[in-house]
Amino acid sequence: MSQDAIPPAVRRVYGPEDLSTAASFAGGYINFGDWSGFDAAGTPTRADRVRSQQALYRRVLAEFPHPPASRLAEVGCGRGLGCALAVGELDFAAVTGVDIHPEQVARAREANAGALAASPDRLGYTIGAADRLPFADGALDGVYSVEAAQHFPELPGFAREAARVLRPGGRLVVTTFFTSGPAAAGPLRELLASFADGLDVPHPITGFATALEAAGFAAPAVRSIGPAVWPGFDRYLAGGAVPPGHWARNFLAAWREGLLDYYLVTAERPATA
Ligand SMILES: C[S@@+](CC[C@H](N)C(=O)[O-])C[C@H]1O[C@@H](n2cnc3c(N)ncnc32)[C@H](O)[C@@H]1O
């Protein structure tokens, strides 16, 4: 993957800046987390923060028929901890983490060196872009993506590639934040630095569902999981992870104002395709 193919903000934030080291994340994961079941009154600890991110992975991976439905790929795997969880804890037969950023792939290999050595045939990390996945046609039973699609420059190419690499009957599961529509883009750039600097692309959720259908997926299921994500994440930030008034606190406001939401999207490639 040529560095030129990587959007500048993605290149910077997941290269020299290494977002996984920011205090708003923890443990090497880089997602806002699923806080279902956490005590709404308490201040989450750093361990809770890690658990929330693992819980988001478990929620996504629960959407796949349990093993032996086997060959999965994660698009935008970051440090690759979710792939290792899928193999080590959930016993999926084989998981390949794909990331556009060579530094992230190197970090994933280093962070999961033990798991890679223990399961060289079941776990792997490779460079690739969402709209150019490094797999043969029909090679996979499942494709998933956790908090990465907000960075993809365009979603129709990702939808087409996911459809191409899935076998007939294979499943796609995507979780991240999408906007409520084109009118949300301006206000989001005002509220959130990640939209203002081009790191996050304001993709409307309806556009993603349309792209999936156009790529041949059958009736995509779109579910909001915002209530399980935003209040818990903001409680963690409010507990001291970021200084008072930090722009990241505006994600909660953006959700409450109906500008964006966090979704779990599933879609299947028809068995007869
Ligand atoms: C917010 S991180 C999420 C990492 C991981 N899924 C997690 O939850 O810990 C987003 C990741 O997506 C990757 N990414 C961004 N654009 C991509 C693209 N077009 N194709 C593949 N990966 C991409 C970034 O390099 C980064 O590692």
Residue 246 within a domain: yes
- The tokens for 114 are 């033990």
Can you tell me which atom of ligand 1 is nearest the CA of 153? 19
Q: Is residue 202 part of a domain?
A: yes
Six token digits for residue 36: 């279902």
Whether 273 is in a domain gets the answer no
Q: Are 158 and 151 in contact (CB under 8 A)?
A: no
The protein residue with its alpha carbon nearest to ligand 1, atom 15, reads 151
Report how many domains make up the chain.
Answer: 1
Q: Are 166 and 140 in contact (CB under 8 A)?
A: yes
pTM (predicted TM-score): 0.97
We report the CATH number of the domain holding residue 83 as: 3.40.50.150
Is there a domain that residue 22 lies in?
yes
Residue with the nearest Cα to atom 11 of ligand 1?
Answer: 76
Pocket test for ligand 1, best of 101, 144, 158, 251 (most atoms within 8 A of CB): 101
Instruction: Give the binding-site residues of ligand 1, using a 6 Å CB cut-off.
Output: 10, 14, 29-31, 75-78, 82, 99-101, 104, 129-130, 146-148, 151-152
What's the CA gap between 79 and 237, in Å, rounded?
22
72 close to 140: Cβ distance less than 8 angstroms: yes
Q: What is the pLDDT along the chain (273 residues), one digit of tens a residue?
A: 666 689 999 999 999 999 999 999 999 999 999 999 887 778 899 999 999 999 999 999 999 987 656 799 999 999 999 999 999 999 999 999 999 999 999 999 999 999 999 999 999 999 999 999 999 999 999 999 999 999 999 999 999 999 999 999 999 999 999 999 999 999 999 999 999 999 999 999 999 999 999 999 998 999 999 999 999 999 999 999 999 999 999 999 999 999 999 999 999 999 975
- CA 246-249-251 angle, 5° bins: 135
Q: How many other CB atoms are found less than 10 A from the CB of residue 98?
A: 28
Give a yes or no: residue 235 inside a domain.
yes
Ligand 1 mean position, distance from CA 78 (Å): 5
Is the residue at 249 inside a domain? yes
Name, in order, each residue with C-beta under 8 angstroms of 156's C-beta and a sequence gap of 6 or more. 211, 214, 215
| 241 within some domain | yes
Nearest-CA residue for ligand 1 atom 24 is 76
* Ligand 1 nearest-atom number relative to CA 129: 20
Domain extent for 236: 3-268
